[in-house]
Amino acid sequence: MLGLGIPSPAKTCGNVQNGLGLRRQRAHLVIKEYLYRLCGALVGLAVLAALPGQGNADPLRVGFYENPPKIFRDEKGQPTGFWPEVTEAILTGLGYDFEYIDCEWETCLEMVRQGQLDLMPDVAFSEERAQQFQFINEALIYSWSTIVTSEKVEIASLQDFEGKRIAVLANSIQERDLSRVLREEGLKSKLIWTSSVQGAIDAILVGDADMAITNTFFAVKMAEQNSLRIPELPFQVNSYHYIVPTDAPHSFVQAMNLASYRQQMTFGSEFHSAEYEWISFHKAPLPGWLTTAALITASVLLLSGALIFILRRVVQARTSDLATTVEALSAEMDLRKKAEKFALETQKFDAIGRLVGGVAHDFNNLLSVIMGNLELLKDQKELDATSQKFTDQALLATKRGAKLTYDLLSFGRRAQLVPQVLRIDLVLGGIEEMLRRTLPENISVAFSYDPDLKAVLLDQGQLENAILNLVLNARDAMPGGGRLTLSVSNLSSDGTEGREPLVDQVVVSVTDTGIGIKEEALNKVFEPFFTTKEIDKGSGMGLAMVHGFVTQSGGQIRIHSIWEQGTTVELRFPVTSEELETVAGSDTSTELLGDEKILLVEDDEDVRHALSKRLSASGFNVTEASNGAAALELATSSTGFDLLVTDLTMPGSIQGVDWVRQARDTFGEVPIVVLTGYGSDALDGLSDLSRCLLLNKPISGPVLISKIRHLLED
């Protein structure tokens, strides 16, 4: 329960006076600032009036733990550091009386969880914590580690860590973060541990490491001194917030949000003062000997004016120090901006990815029902020609719907890919004619392939779709005609380009001479449903799908465009050392019928009914279950099944990957077909299961039967 206190006028007035003192030299800002404060106080009072327990005189309980310089007690035992200064400003500004409750870090969090603390500062945001606490959205501190590389190494994304030797201080937070990232991203890099922070830089300089990850302050200094590069990619951006218990009043959370925001937006606020004092990099300490020397010098200066020369030298040194500080601050600000931008973009794309994944799942279930029933309808012998035509058209539309959801999943990087070793020139050679046919006569087209093109690991169908999307975009960009060039070439890691990659890549470029894209639209082109085309001319999913596919395939996508001159889209894929595969055959088999016993587990009654009909129509003996528990019951009462077809996400205690594993334990080596509307990453945890196949909903009847047949005969 939030222990809300009565505002403390004395504390509030004292704080305002202090604030005005700080702003004395900025008279032109005082009135503006005062209005902000007045506004803030009014908001605070309004919030207080709306809160329960207003009459309660108990002060707000704020967690306090030691983490200098962000939060700690000074020699007199007084709370000091960044958070106490900002907290004092915010809470007194809102009219709260408050007290600090000392606790260990973990204990503090537990106390917030139990409602024994009303507010806790300095908590890094994580999804896991967001389940347990309410976060004040406005982050007051961002922190991140910095990547340092030699001049030859280019790091544009986390995927570029693959195969790199990365130096990192042993037992540091950077090491822990790096290990976690590599594990989560499935990347293979070699850690070069070092015994000191300097050691990580030394490892690059002597060629033992390709890159290092270290704290930002150190990285900026060392990169300047050693001509090393700091890529624009910040590493492990963390944002630090206040947290409150989950049952804290919404109005209090809003007030804290607003006050935090205002602190950051107000020039000369306590936030900026505390940030400069405690967080910024300007606080490089003077060595002890220099302090001593300065004291001695000051004494000597009293005795002799001849030492003025020495004083000048000290002034020069300080000036130089100041210049360095300004440079460091400037670099810090740049990095912070990049970190914030990176964090926002990542969060935005992740959020959209989750959203479209969820929508696609439900949509796919609906499509499954429609497609299944249409296929059953089509099989009816008494259907006349007109009805047959209507059915075909409806089926066609359903497949287009399925394509759209697949594109959505592609954007969310959840599409099921079937990568195979292939040469892009051979793949494109096969669709050259089709691509030419999509272009009007006033557009000339040229294909150019590197004669010794290297192999890559890609989903062939998705690659063709991606290229087709780019070609169609190019066509629409050249309504008055023009030239389209499609080239595929090797980009060697030791090639002649100025900023060559560390691993060999194959680059696919699609260039048009069309109208181009305006600069303000360039950073939005990969977002789903963003289009510069006229209404009804494009879904806005094309480039989003391409972006998702390329990223999911471990590649990179780049776009260059000049307004009214043209656009080039580049897809870069890492070269694979695996042997080239033969082109995969058709997915559908001619021997589709069967009589095996199939257990079908699906919670959606309509989907289950349609699937059951489809399987039964092909001769299979189908038993239905509406969830995992019911299926397990059937396992004990039935004589056994030859194959299990199951949904992944169902109501009940048994579902997801756990359900599939439990099914394998219960049904033994019976083949399992998993149908999911969420995309392939739902099954990352099942890659070790043999005879287990993942299929995306909606799936057409013949393909499903074919896959089942293959699995049964495998």
Partner 1 sequence: MFFARPAAAQTELSMWYHGSQNELERGIILEIVDDFNASQPDWKVILKSIPEGSYNDAVVQAAWTGNLPDIIDVDAPVVANWAWQGYLQPLAIDASLVDPFLPSTVGRWNGEIYSVGLWEAALAILTRKSTLAKYDIRLPSLAEPWTATEFEAALVKIKASGEFDYPLDLGVSGEGEWFPYALSPFLQSYGGDLVDRSTYMTAQGVLNGEAALRFGAWWQSLFTRALVPAVGLAQKDRTEGLIDGTYAMAWNGNWTVLDVIEAHGEDVVYLPAPDFGKGSVIGAGSWQFGVSATSEHVTGASAFVEFAIQDRYLSSIADTLGLIPPTPAAAKASKNYGPDGRLSGFVDLSRQQAMLRPVSPSYVVIAKVFERALVEIAGGADVQEMLNEAVNDINRDILRNAGYKPE
Question: Which of 19, 47, 71, 72 touches partner 1 by CB under 8 A?
Answer: 72
Window of 73-81, 265-273, 392-400, 580-588 that interacts with partner 1 by CB under 8 A: 73-81
Cα separation, 81 vs 66, in Å, equals 10
Beta strand ranges found along 450-512 (DSSP E): 456-459, 482-491, 505-512
Three-class SS state of 133: coil
Cα separation, 192 vs 170, in Å, equals 9
Window of 66-74, 242-250, 257-265, 307-315 that interacts with partner 1 by CB under 8 A: 66-74
Comparison of 684 and 714: residue with beta carbon closer to partner 1: 684
Question: Which of 42, 66, 358, 523 touches partner 1 by CB under 8 A?
Answer: 66
What's the Cα-to-Cα distance from 107 to each of 65, 187, 221, rounded to whole Å?
Answer: 9, 35, 37
Task: Return the residues of window 195-254 that contact partner 1 according to CB under 8 A.
Answer: 195-197, 199, 202-203, 206, 208, 215, 217-218
Beta strand ranges found along 87-152 (DSSP E): 98-102, 120-124, 134-135, 141-149
21 binds partner 1 (CB under 8 A): no
Count other Cβ atoms within 10 Å, centred on residue 264: 15
Cα separation, 398 vs 375, in Å, equals 11
Cα separation, 694 vs 675, in Å, equals 6
321 binds partner 1 (CB under 8 A): no
Distance of CA 456 to the CA centre of its chain: 25
φ and ψ at residue 594, rounded to 5 degrees:
-160, 170
Task: Return the residues of window 117-176 that contact partner 1 according to CB under 8 A.
Answer: 169-173
Question: Which of 75, 184, 384, 714 touches partner 1 by CB under 8 A?
Answer: 75
Q: How far is the CB of 281 from partner 1 (least distance, A)?
A: 10
Distance of CA 645 to the CA centre of its chain: 33
The residue type at 335 = L
Comparison of 168 and 409: residue with beta carbon closer to partner 1: 168
73 binds partner 1 (CB under 8 A): yes
Q: How far is the CB of 173 from partner 1 (least distance, A)?
A: 5
What is the number of alpha carbons within 13 Å of residue 163 lying toward its C-beta? 13
Question: Which of 43, 94, 148, 192 touches partner 1 by CB under 8 A?
Answer: 192
Window of 5-13, 69-77, 484-492, 673-681 that interacts with partner 1 by CB under 8 A: 69-77
One character per residue 323-342, x = contact with partner 1 (rule: CB under 8 A): --------------------
CA neighbor of 568 nearest in space, from 693, 651, 484: 484
Residue 80, both tokens: 């000091």
Three-class SS state of 636: helix
Q: How far is the CB of 471 from partner 1 (least distance, A)?
A: 46
Contact 153, 209 (CB under 8 A): no
Q: How far is the CB of 193 from partner 1 (least distance, A)?
A: 4
Cα separation, 177 vs 323, in Å, equals 33
Q: How far is the CB of 172 from partner 1 (least distance, A)?
A: 6
285 binds partner 1 (CB under 8 A): yes
Question: Which of 26, 283, 533, 558 touches partner 1 by CB under 8 A?
Answer: 283
Distance of CA 452 to the CA centre of its chain: 36
Task: Return the residues of window 95-114 that contact partner 1 according to CB under 8 A.
Answer: 104-106
Question: What DSSP element (H or E) covers 301?
Answer: helix 288-303
Question: Which of 191, 376, 630, 654 touches partner 1 by CB under 8 A?
Answer: 191
180 binds partner 1 (CB under 8 A): no
**Which H, E and C letters describe 80-101, residue by residue?**
ECHHHHHHHHHHHHCCCCEEEE
Q: How far is the CB of 414 from partner 1 (least distance, A)?
A: 26
Question: Which of 9, 52, 68, 430 touches partner 1 by CB under 8 A?
Answer: 68
194 binds partner 1 (CB under 8 A): yes
405 binds partner 1 (CB under 8 A): no
Any residues with CB less than 8 A from the CB of 9 and at least 6 apart, and which?
Answer: none
Q: How far is the CB of 205 from partner 1 (least distance, A)?
A: 9
Total residues in contact with partner 1, by rule CB under 8 A: 36
Window of 18-26, 279-287, 568-576, 615-623 that interacts with partner 1 by CB under 8 A: 279-287
- Site of interaction with partner 1 (CB under 8 A): 65-69, 72-73, 75, 77, 104-106, 169-173, 191-197, 199, 202-203, 206, 208, 215, 217-218, 283-285, 288
